[in-house]
Amino acid sequence: MSEYVLGVDLGTSAVKVSAMNKDGEIVAQQSFDYPLSQPHPGYSEQNPEDWVSGTTVAIVRLILDDQIKPEEIEGISFSGQMHGLVLLDENRQVLRPAILWNDTRTTKQRHEIEAQLGDKFVEITKNQPLEGFTLPKMLWVKENEPEIWAQAKTFLLPKDYVRYRMTGKLAMDYSDATGTVLLDVKAGQWSQEICDALDIPMSMCPPLMKSIDSAGKVSQSYALFSGLSTDTEVFGGGADNAAGAVGAGILSPNMVLSSIGTSGVVLKYEENADVDYHGVLQFEDHAIPDSYYSMGVTLAAGYSLNWFKKTFAQDVSFDEMVESAANSGVGANGLIYTPYIVGERAPYADADIRGSFIGVDGTHKKTDFVRAVLEGIIFSFKDIMDIYDAHHNDFDTVVAIGGGAKSPLWLQIQADIFNKKVVSLENEQGPGMGAAMMAAVGLGWFDTFQECADKFVHFGKEYLPDPKRAQQYDKVHEIYGKVYKSTSELSHELLAYRRDNDI
Ligand SMILES: Nc1ncnc2c1ncn2[C@@H]1O[C@H](COP(=O)(O)OP(=O)(O)O)[C@@H](O)[C@H]1O
Ligand SMILES: O=C(CO)[C@@H](O)[C@H](O)COP(=O)(O)O
């Protein structure tokens, strides 16, 4: 009899479920897309039921189409889009659509937290209370939808809600809990001080668990719904970036992760919680017990490309559009794109900044615009790399994951802009792989993540920087670096036109 684990990667654009065997081979994969609702600029919501249905459809397809036998699935674990607020009432019913990580309606709440707790907040949570994180979202509901807040008895993050629906148990793992900015990171528990200061009942905070801990077995009701067996063990899982790091083999401080999903992330493994980026970078508990990671997030990475395609290139395939950028050159013939189209998190924590194309010329072609978008996203990543450089972090290898790592051209652009070796994975599914690895370690298939990674993580092609292009990109990045400052006032002046349409 074969033995499998399922890694559920609950992303922003889709859920992808991978079935892996003990040799670390992906034997089958299914995915299901779901919509993102953006009713106003700055808003971003999803229906938690869509996550449950999408995950279930993908699992049913693994069983029916790929002939994975339910009794052969030993464990399931998760990689979840982070920070999204799911509010449940006393009957554990969802009270409103989930408010997602890329929703930035909460600037007022961010400032309220800063005014009330100041530096103490960063000391406790190791993060700033940025718009995207869960706590400001809770305060927004409290202030703007008091009737819903009055009914709220607990909150969960996206993958925790799916796990709850599979097992009937409420829980949150540490790696995702840091992203709520309600956790006292050093103490490893919910912060009484923050809850008290902001009048959040501690009773709303769910029980904490490790990523490799079991939340129990698939419940009778979910087994009936999905076809899974009630013998399958369901594990905690982790934040998608923690899972991505595990699935990409980032298990030591000399390697860095670059992830292009809907968001973009540059991430580094941290051995202890003593390092201090003063909240400029996010600092999170890892899915690996007793370790951490730091990261900088570009809110619109893959999202920028999706937006560009939807708006200007509907007639070609995604691959065709991306590869057309090869017809332009380094610096896109003098065109620069800044990817701030839904605001930004790092290095500029500014929810109201917006993107721009700088240097548009009458000779520019669509291929230049595509190239500028690809480059602008990576320039934003380079800004994060520069922060690591400033902290004297030495690393030589960047492992690239996410949907963006499907493009060889974009991987080469990464190598040239970072001026570092970029390595892809054989399968670009870092987070899904990481999720499966958490189940594999949780089940005891392996004693450590390192042992598991030796079996599961397979590096693919390497992309080396071209010295000439790297030098040229250095200069363009310098110009790119001036765009934020030069456009921030203009962006803020345009805010009223984005939000109100009645001026
Ligand atoms: N062929 C491709 N080449 C480059 N980028 C791609 C390609 N296909 C998809 N992408 C990018 O990958 C992103 C989705 O990546 P994924 O890791 O699946 O995201 P998420 O986890 O946020 O759902 C899309 O936003 C898109 O811009
Ligand atoms: O907000 C963050 C990290 O802090 C995002 O990285 C989300 O976790 C969503 O990720 P993707 O859907 O882009 O993978």
* Ligand 2 proximity of 264 Cβ (cutoff 6 Å): no
Each residue's pLDDT tens digit, 115-141: 999 999 999 999 999 999 999 999 999
Range 4-241 classified under CATH 3.40.50.1100: no
d(CA 318, ligand 1 centre) in Å: 9
How many Å lie between the centroid of ligand 1 and the Cα of residue 193?
39
Longest dimension (CA), the chain: 68
Check pLDDT > 70 for residue 501: no
Mutate to test the pocket of ligand 1, among 16, 267, 406, 414 (most ligand atoms within 8 A of CB): 406
Distance of alpha carbon 302 from alpha carbon 206, whole angstroms: 32
Q: What DSSP designation does 47 have? A: -
Q: Which residue carries 């939808």 as its tokens?
A: 145
Q: Distance between CA 293 and CA 81 in Å, rounded? A: 16
Q: Please report where in the chains the tokens 């790092």 appear, as a residue.
A: 346
Residue identified by tokens 């203009």 is 490
148-154's contacts with Cβ under 8 Å and 24+ in sequence apart are: 148/87, 148/95, 148/96, 151/89, 151/90, 151/95, 152/87, 152/88, 152/89, 152/95, 152/204, 153/88, 153/89, 153/90, 153/92, 153/203, 153/204, 154/87, 154/88, 154/92, 154/203, 154/204, 154/205, 154/206
> How far apart are alpha carbons 503 and 496 in whole angstroms?
8
Ligand 2 neighbour 18 (Cβ under 6 A): no
56: pLDDT strictly greater than 80? yes
Within 404-446, residue ranges assigned H as helices are 408-418, 430-442
**In whole numbers, what is the pLDDT of the chain averaged over residues?**
95
- The residue whose C-alpha atom lies closest to atom 14 belonging to ligand 2 is 261
Closest by alpha carbon to 333, among 355, 361, 309?
A: 361
Task: Decide the pairing of beta strands 356-358 and 45-46.
Answer: unpaired
Residues 179, 39: Cα–Cα separation, whole Å: 24
* Global pTM value: 0.94
Q: What is the pLDDT of residue 428?
A: 72
Give the helix ranges, DSSP H, for 317-395: 318-323, 366-390
Output the pLDDT for position 502.
44
Q: Stretch 246-250: mean pLDDT, rounded? A: 94
| Cα gap 494→383, rounded to integer Å | 25
- Measured between alpha carbons, how far is residue 168 from residues 203, 214, 220, 273 in Å? 18, 13, 10, 33
Give the C-alpha separation, 358 to 336, whole Å.
5
Of the bound ligands, which one is closest to the alpha carbon of residue 308? 1
In degrees and rounded to multiples of 5, residue 106 shows phi and psi of -105, 30
Q: What does the block give as tokens for 111?
A: 């400032």
pLDDT band of residue 500 (cuts 50, 70, 90) is low
pLDDT at 388 (0 to 100):
92
Ligand minimally distant from the alpha carbon of residue 240: 2
Nearest-ligand number for the alpha carbon of 180:
2
* Confidence category of residue 503, pLDDT binned at 50, 70, 90: very low
Pick among 3.30.2010.10, 3.40.1160.10, 3.30.420.40, 3.90.1300.10: CATH of 302-342+354-376+477-500:
3.30.420.40
- Mean pLDDT check: name the lowest of 41-45, 159-163, 461-465: 41-45
Task: Find tokens 């897309």 and name the residue.
Answer: 33
- The annotation status of 82 as a binding-site residue, yes or no, is yes
What's the 427 CA to ligand 2 centre distance in angstroms?
19
Q: Is 337 helix (H, G, I), strand (E, B) or coil?
A: strand
Residue 240 annotated as catalytic: yes
Q: Write the DSSP assignment of 82-124 as a string of letters.
A: SS-BEEE-TT--B-SPEEPTT--TTHHHHHHHHHHHHHHHHHH
pLDDT tens for 140-174 read: 999 999 999 999 999 999 999 999 999 999 999 99
Q: Write down the pLDDT at residue 277.
A: 87
Tell me which amino acid residue 329 is.
G
The per-residue DSSP string of 239-293 comes to: EHHHHHHHHTT--STTEEEEEESSSEEEEEEESSTT---TTSSEEEE-SSTT-EE
Catalytic residue (one of 240, 368, 383, 416): 240
Query: What string of DSSP letters covers 6-43?
Result: EEEEE-SSEEEEEEEETTS-EEEEEEEE---B-SSTT-
pLDDT of residue 124: 96
499 pLDDT band (50/70/90 cuts)? low
Phi/psi for 366 (5° steps) reads: -60, -35
Contacts with 103 (C-beta within 8 Å, 6 or more apart), sequence order: 42, 43, 44, 45, 131, 132, 137
Using a pLDDT cut of 70, give the percent of the chain over it: 99
Distance CA 104, CA 140 (A): 11
Task: Name the residue among 458, 460, 470 with its Cα closest to residue 433.
Answer: 458
The string over 152-179, giving b where at least 16 C-beta atoms fall within 10 Å of a residue's C-beta and e elsewhere, is bbbbbbbbbbbbbbbbebbbbbbbbbbb
Q: Can you give the pLDDT at residue 496?
A: 84
Query: 3-state class of 371 per DSSP?
Result: helix
| CA nearest ligand 2 atom 9, residue | 81
Q: Tell me if 305 CB under 6 Å of ligand 1.
A: yes
Any ligand 1 atom below 6 A from CB of 261 = yes
What is the CATH superfamily name and number for domain 249-300+384-463? Answer: ATPase, nucleotide binding domain (3.30.420.40)
Residue pLDDT, tens place only, 340-394: 999 999 999 999 999 999 999 999 999 999 999 999 999 999 999 999 998 877 7
Residue 350: DSSP 8-state = B
Domains of the chain, residue spans: 4-241, 249-300+384-463, 302-342+354-376+477-500
Ligand 1 and 12: CB distance under 6 A: yes
Asked if 4-241 and 249-300+384-463 have one fold, the answer is yes
CA separation for the pair 296, 382 (Å, rounded) = 10
Cβ–Cβ under 8 Å, residues 156 and 206: yes
